[in-house]
Each structure stands twice: as structure tokens, then as C-alpha cells.
């Protein structure tokens, strides 16, 4: 297996329908402009939320320590220490002049039966709805998913905000993929929630309870604002088929790629932060080319020049 963390000179981005999934390092607008029209059946994006602060996480690790506060196997003591810092900036002077051209590219890149999921929070979602109505048409608005969770700090002088918003638009309201029988009815983990029916015919509502990625859970990569695989699994199962191409151009820790890979879809992930690319390399390392392989399933590359792709 090639060293997943080694930093080698990346290839130039060269997408082809029968080629490998791509992980692209660079500004997403430049990369998007080089991709052909109507390529992706599903686009999921989770842009920075414009919180006005840097998003920072320290990875956590448990080490053996004579003075540690946690008691473990055979009476050994352990303590949890902070590891490396991973961060990206989440402050924009003009958030909408940043996001709008990228959303317009997303529309161009969707197949005629494709679906866009835009993951935001209460700060920007209302502006996003107005803008997406203008590029897709309000008849193409399918749903607003409320992803509700109940962890983390709680405000004391207003209602604690414990949800994100995911806007869903289809390119063609008369012809889009919605695999309601493939969606798992994964039980969401909020204590005290009334038991929902389960089984093949149970279609979850537009309010999704799902715990956040736990600091000690096995999904945790240490990348800030990592989203749970359960949320992405539901999206990918509902709005794509095995073999389809899926795009996430704010890839972060690579959750979309990890779930797409597990569900037999191909993907393009784009992020400009080297820490994101390093995290994705580790996360997807089982799928990287090993020295004996003739075919790569996943290829790392740099964004090509920002010239628009010319069909034909």
C-alpha cells in the first residue's frame, strides 16, 4: 500500500466518465469550471457557514499516564491529551459573492435528473433559498431537511440552536431520482424520542435526528465540522444509484467520498485546505492504489486551470 500521508506532486485534474474517483486539491471554482456540463447525478455541499471565526479542532488521543484521571484495563491509568490542530477559515467579507458563482456551477454540473443538497445553518439558509429559487426555479425546490442534534454548548439568552438546514433542489421536477425503498430507516439516537416505525416502507420525514460525530467515535477524523456518515448515507441512497457520479466541492474530511465509496458510487471531492486532503488520504487509504494494482479507484490531483470546459 502506498504511504497515504506522503506528499507527492499531484497529477493535473483529468476527469473522465470511466476514470477513477478524484480528490482534488485547490480552489473549487477553478476546478468546477474545468468539469463538463451535466456530469453528476448528486451534488452534496457543506460550505463554511460564515460563522465569522476559524473552525479549529484538536485531535484527541488517550495515553497511558501514572497520573491520568481515567482507570483502564488491569488498573492502568490514562489521560486524554490534545493532538495536532486542524483548522480552516470561516470568515467571509462578502459570503454571497463567494457562494453564488459556485452554486451556479453546481446547477450546470447536475444531470437533467440530478439533485443538489446544500447544507447550511440558520445564518445563511434563507438567502440561499432565495438564490437557489432564482437559478433552479422555485418549482425545483424539493425539501428543506432539518438535521437535529442535541450536543455541544447551549446558549442561555436565546433558544439553543440545535439543528442544521439542508436545502434540496432537483434540476427537473418531472424527472429525478428518489429511491425511497433504498433509504435506511436508521434509528436516530436522541434520548426520549418516540419510537418510529421501521422497515422497508418507512420513509423518514424531513426532520432527521442524528447524533453529531462523537469525539471518541470510530468515524472521528479530527477535522472540524465533520458531518456524520449516517446523514450522508441517507442522502446518497435516496438520490443516486450505484455507479453514479457524486460531487462534493467543500469536501472537508471526505465524508461524502467515504460513504459514496462504501455504496458503490464514484465521486469527485474538492478542497483547498491541505489539511483536508491529508485527512481524506488517511480516511480513504484502503481504496488507494497499492503498488501491484493496475487500476486506481481513487486518484489525487491538483485543480486544473480555471478555463471553462469546452464540450466536444
Ligand X SMILES: C[S@@+](CC[C@H](N)C(=O)[O-])C[C@H]1O[C@@H](n2cnc3c(N)ncnc32)[C@H](O)[C@@H]1O
Residues that bind ligand X (CB under 6 A): 27-28, 46-48, 88, 223, 225-227, 250, 252-253, 255, 270-273, 276
Pair 66, 50: CB distance under 8 Å: no
CB of 40 to ligand X, least distance (A): 16
Pair 298, 10: CB distance under 8 Å: no
CB of 276 to ligand X, least distance (A): 4
Which CB sits closer to ligand X, 46 or 124? 46
C-alpha cell at 301: 490531483
Backbone angles phi, psi at 181, to 5 degrees: -80, -15
Which CB sits closer to ligand X, 190 or 273? 273
In order of 38, 42, 48, 252, 294, the CA distances from 109 in angstroms are 4, 9, 21, 20, 30
CB of 312 to ligand X, least distance (A): 28
Helix extents (H) in the chain: 28-33, 95-109, 125-136, 229-239, 255-262, 274-283
Which CB sits closer to ligand X, 51 or 185? 51
Q: How far is 229 from 53, CA to CA, in rounded Å?
A: 25
Helix then strand then coil, in percent of the chain rounded to 5, is 25, 25, 50
Which CB sits closer to ligand X, 140 or 231? 231
Residue nearest to ligand X (CB): 252
Which CB sits closer to ligand X, 188 or 250? 250
Which CB sits closer to ligand X, 165 or 226? 226
Neighbours of 254 (CB within 10 A): 27
CB of 300 to ligand X, least distance (A): 15
CB of 270 to ligand X, least distance (A): 6
CB of 299 to ligand X, least distance (A): 18
Amino acid at each position: 500500500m502506498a504511504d497515504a500521508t506522503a506528499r507527492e506532486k499531484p497529477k493535473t485534474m483529468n476527469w473522465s466518465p470511466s476514470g477513477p474517483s478524484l480528490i482534488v486539491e485547490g480552489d473549487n471554482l477553478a476546478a468546477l469550471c474545468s468539469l463538463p456540463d451535466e456530469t453528476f447525478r448528486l451534488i452534496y455541499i457543506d460550505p463554511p457557514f460564515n460563522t465569522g471565526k476559524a473552525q479549529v479542532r484538536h485531535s484527541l488521543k488517550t495515553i497511558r499516564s501514572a497520573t491520568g484521571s481515567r482507570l483502564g484495563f488491569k488498573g492502568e491509568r490514562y489521560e486524554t491529551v490534545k493532538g495536532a490542530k486542524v483548522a480552516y477559515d470561516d470568515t467571509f467579507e462578502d459570503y454571497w459573492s463567494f457562494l453564488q458563482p459556485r452554486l451556479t456551477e453546481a446547477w450546470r454540473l447536475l444531470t437533467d435528473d440530478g439533485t443538489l443538497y446544500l447544507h447550511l445553518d440558520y445564518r445563511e439558509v434563507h438567502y440561499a433559498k432565495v438564490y437557489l429559487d432564482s437559478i433552479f426555479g422555485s418549482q425545483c425546490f424539493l425539501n428543506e431537511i432539518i438535521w437535529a442534534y442535541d450536543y455541544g454548548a447551549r446558549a442561555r439568552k436565546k433558544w439553543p440552536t440545535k439543528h442544521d438546514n439542508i436545502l434540496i433542489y432537483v434540476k427537473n421536477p418531472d424527472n429525478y431520482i428518489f429511491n425511497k425503498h433504498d433509504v435506511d430507516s436508521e434509528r436516530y439516537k436522541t434520548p426520549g424520542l418516540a419510537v418510529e416505525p421501521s422497515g422497508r416502507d418507512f420513509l423518514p420525514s424531513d426532520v432527521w435526528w442524528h447524533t453529531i460525530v462523537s469525539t471518541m467515535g470510530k468515524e472521528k477524523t479530527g477535522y472540524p465540522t465533520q458531518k456524520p456518515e449516517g446523514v450522508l448515507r441517507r442522502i446518497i441512497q435516496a438520490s443516486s444509484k450505484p455507479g453514479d457520479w457524486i460531487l462534493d466541492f467543500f469536501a472537508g474530511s471526505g465524508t461524502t467520498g467515504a460513504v459514496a465509496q462504501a455504496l458503490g458510487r464514484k465521486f469527485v471531492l474538492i478542497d483547498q485546505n491541505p489539511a483536508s486532503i491529508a485527512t481524506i488520504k488517511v480516511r480513504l487509504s484502503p481504496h488507494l492504489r497499492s503498488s501491484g494494482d493496475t487500476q486506481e479507484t481513487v486518484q489525487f490531483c491538483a485543480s486544473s486551470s480555471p478555463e471553462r470546459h469546452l464540450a466536444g
